[in-house]
Amino acid sequence: KQEVTQIPAALSVPEGENLVLNCSFTDSAIYNLQWFRQDPGKGLTSLLLIQSSQREQTSGRLNASLDKSSGRSTLYIAASQPGDSATYLCAVQSGSARQLTFGSGTQLTVLP
């Protein structure tokens, strides 16, 4: 059974810092990994999707990497801003089913 872990559970940084969020998964036979952002009381916004054959994806100040063999992914946020404050979730698609298995998220606070 696939399990996804995110560390740390919460992170508080001053504005302007570069930061890294971590995600690990137990079964390396994944099809893709997706990073989402969730604002309080809202749904999930897809940030980046990395196919299993890819090593990284970039979008603006965000860069996500994937190391399938070690079961790890990182989300790098450059020059953080208060508007980046949210919960960040990673999720993997694996196995014969199409559902996502989610981590418990990292709650990020960027202080002005």
Nearer residue to other proteins within complex by CB, 45 or 109:
45
For 82-106, give the DSSP string: GGG-EEEEEEEEESSS--EEE---E
- Selected from 29, 104, 109, 111, the binder of other proteins by CB under 8 A is 104
Please identify, among the stretches 17-25, 37-45, 62-70, 71-79, the one whose residues bind other proteins according to the rule CB under 8 A. 37-45
| Among the listed residues 21, 25, 36, 57, the single contact to other proteins using CB under 8 A | 36
Q: Is 10 in the site for other proteins (CB under 8 A)?
A: no
Q: Half-sphere exposure of residue 73, counting CA atoms within 13 Å on the CB side?
A: 37
Smallest separation (angstroms) from other proteins to the CB of 22: 16
Give the nearest distance from C-beta 93 to other proteins in angstroms.
5
Residue 50 three-state SS:
strand
Cα–Cα–Cα angle for 89, 2, 4, nearest 5°? Answer: 25
Half-sphere exposure of residue 39, counting CA atoms within 13 Å on the CB side?
7
**Residues of the shown chain interacting with other proteins in the complex, contacts defined by CB under 8 A:** 31-32, 34, 36, 41-46, 49, 51, 89, 91, 93, 97-105
